[in-house]
Every structure is written in structure tokens, then in C-alpha cells.
Amino acid sequence: DTAVSQTPKYLVTQMGNDKSIKCEQNLGHDTMYWYKQDSKKFLKIMFSYNNKELIINETVPNRFSPKSPDKAHLNLHINSLELGDSAVYFCASSQELHRTGNTIYFGEGSWLTVV
Amino acid sequence: QKEVEQNSGPLSVPEGAIASLNCTYSDRGSQSFFWYRQYSGKSPELIMSIYSNGDKEDGRFTAQLNKASQYVSLLIRDSQPSDSATYLCAVNSNYQLIWGAGTKLIIKP
């Protein structure tokens, strides 16, 4: 069983469209994250959710909105897609929010290409 | 702004040699340090974590931490071609995990 699963794995879409990426974890973790990794491989956190409460929201455009129906799911919705949104998006989870000894488990990534 | 810096590489090491990866960080208050490995087209996975000054060994991997100098390193002994990947350094700073840009390691047979 995959610990952190996200879908779709590949997504090609046109500018201006709205898309969602779904994520589920079966590890029983309290915290889930969305990361963006650009072409330079730099991993940047976008959102953290702890017990369904938004903990960290970095300087991410409000076109991006996380939605968590329960602590096992954290979906990412993107409105009005732009070319610069093309990247790999990783969902992840951990037992607690970045505490000592906290391992982060990543999903396999969703490759988003905006054309 | 809190930063974690790594040499982007690529770092080329002959098979069987020791690969040495370095990372420096800016927040003196950081207490937890992590090394993740990321194969091309895959997601990052944890290799080592270290919290105290000194060395921590796990198989062929050794993490070294020097808080006074604010650096953490990862040594890979008897490097194998399967070790070729990007190695990401991450530092826990005020309940946030700050990531370096990663060092690409190439092990040449």
C-alpha cells in the first residue's frame, strides 16, 4: 500500500484553466504538506495542514488553495493556471509539524505542465 | 531570511570512493538536520537525521554536524552507481523545514 498517494501523476493543461491535484495518506499522520519543485530542483513548501488547520501559508498566489476534507486528505486546487505554474508538486505528510525526529513522507509527485 | 545552502554540483566520484556532501545553514537556533535523497523523476526520501554535534553512522552513510560552524555533511563510503542522485539537506528552523537546493551526485563506474 502506498503511504502517500497523489493523483494525477501527469497533467498537461492550457493557461487559464482550473485544475486540482488530490492527495491521500494512510499513515495516520496529523500534518500534511504541499511542496512545489521547480526546474532547478528547489523544493519550496506551499502549505501545511495540521488537524485540518492551515499552519503555514508561504508567499503563494491566492490562485492556489488547499482543501482538506479530513486529516487523511489534502487536495490542491489551482485557478487560472499560468505558464510559471509548471512544476512538480509533491504532497507529503508527517506525524507532527516539523518537530524533532519528524520524518516527512512524500508522494510520488504530480508533473504539471501549463501550455 | 533563513537559508540552507548546498553546492549544486554535479559532484562526480569514482565507484568505491568516499562521496562528501556539504550543507551550511544560517539559523543558529536550528536543532534538527536531515539528509534526503532524490532520484531523478522520483520523490525525496529520508536517509539520515542528526540532532547532536559529531558523527552519526548508518551503514555506508555518516552524517556530521557542527553547530558552531553551522554546517552539516553527509559522507557516503564505498560509493555505488546506485548512489547517483540529488541529495537534499533540510534544516528544522522554528517549526519550519528549510530545504537546500540539493547537490547532484554522480558515481562513475
Measured between CA atoms, the residue of chain A closest to residue B103 is A41
Is B43 in Cβ contact with A109 (below 8 Å)? yes
pLDDT tens across B25-81, in order? 999 989 899 999 999 999 999 999 999 999 999 999 999 999 999 999 999 999 999
B30 with B65: CB under 8 angstroms? no
In single-letter form, the type of residue at position B32 comes to S
pLDDT at B1 over 90: no
Is B44 in Cβ contact with A100 (below 8 Å)? no
Distance between CA atoms of A112 and A8, rounded to whole angstroms?
9
pLDDT at B95 over 80: no
B102 with B87: CB under 8 angstroms? yes
Secondary structure letter of residue A97 according to DSSP:
S
Secondary structure letter of residue B81 according to DSSP:
G
For residue A33, the tally of other CB atoms under 10 A from its CB is: 28
Cβ of B95 under 8 Å from any chain A Cβ? Answer: yes
Chain B, residues 54-83, CB within 8 A of chain A, namely none
> Of A23, A30, A29, which is closest to residue A4 (Cα–Cα)?
A23
**How far does B29 lie from chain A, in Å, by closest CA?**
13
Sign of CA dihedral B94, B32, B86, A7: negative
So what's the pLDDT on residue A35? 94
Set of cell numbers at residue B28 = 543558529
Residues 6+ apart with CB under 8 A from A96: A30, A31, A50, A102
So what's the pLDDT on residue A99? 58
Stretches where chain A sits below pLDDT 50 are none
Which positions in chain A touch B92 (Cβ < 8 Å)? 98-100, 102
Q: Find residue A44's DSSP bridge partners.
A: A36
Cβ of B101 under 8 Å from any chain A Cβ? Answer: yes
So what's the pLDDT on residue B92? 87
So what's the pLDDT on residue A4? 96
Cβ of B10 under 8 Å from any chain A Cβ? Answer: no
So what's the pLDDT on residue B68? 95
A21 with A110: CB under 8 angstroms? yes
Measured between CA atoms, the residue of chain B closest to residue A42 is B101
Chain A, residues 40-59, CB within 8 A of chain B, namely 40-45, 56
> Of B37, B36, B102, B22, which is closest to residue A40 (Cα–Cα)?
B102
B72 with B89: CB under 8 angstroms? yes
So what's the pLDDT on residue A97? 66
So what's the pLDDT on residue A43? 87
So what's the pLDDT on residue B13? 97
Distance between CA atoms of B68 and B56, rounded to whole angstroms?
17
Cβ of A99 under 8 Å from any chain B Cβ? Answer: yes
